[in-house]
Amino acid sequence: SQTIHQWPATLVQPVGSPLSLECTVEGTSNPNLYWYRQAAGRGLQLLFYSVGIGQISSEVPQNLSASRPQDRQFILSSKKLLLSDSGFYLCAWSVPGQGNQPQHFGDGTRLSIL
């Protein structure tokens, strides 16, 4: 069966510091991968998605970036964090090439910027 792992679970970072969040999927090949941000009490904002290694689409221009160095690894990064980057970051995967399929979410990373 497929599993998705995100880490760390929680992170407290100062303004201006760098960021690296990692997501890996097991049990499937060439998944579609997604990064979402959820502000407190709010909905899901799609940040990036990827349909293959090295292929990244950005939904919202901001100081975050994403990379997919391996088939089942998706990384969210920032060179300098802003206060507004605080939130709950969720990685998700879906089966590619079979029409519309559900997205399956990881447990998320709660990021607090001080």
Partner 1 sequence: GENVEQHPSTLSVQEGDSAVIKCTYSDSASNYFPWYKQELGKRPQLIIDIRSNVGEKKDQRIAVTLNKTAKHFSLHITETQPEDSAVYFCAASRGDMRFGAGTRLTVKP
- Residue numbers at the binding site for partner 1 (CB under 8 A): 42-44, 46, 49, 90, 99-108, 110
Beta-bridge partners for 9:
none
Distance CA 33, CA 14 (A): 28
Question: With respect to partner 1, which residue has the nearer C-beta, 69 or 99?
Answer: 99
In which residue are the tokens 């995100």 written?
A: 6
If the CB atoms of residues 17 and 101 are measured against partner 1, the closer one turns out to be 101
**For residues 14 and 100, which CB has a smaller minimum distance to partner 1 in the complex?**
100
Beta bridge partners of 7: 22
CB of 51 to partner 1, least distance (A): 10
Measured CA to CA, the distance from residue 33 to residue 92 in angstroms comes to 6
Minimum CB–partner distance for residue 42 and partner 1 (Å): 7
Residue 20 CB, shortest distance to partner 1, in Å, is 20
CA distance 28 to 57: 21
What secondary structure letter does DSSP report for 62? S
Query: Closest separation between CB of residue 46 and partner 1, Å?
Result: 8
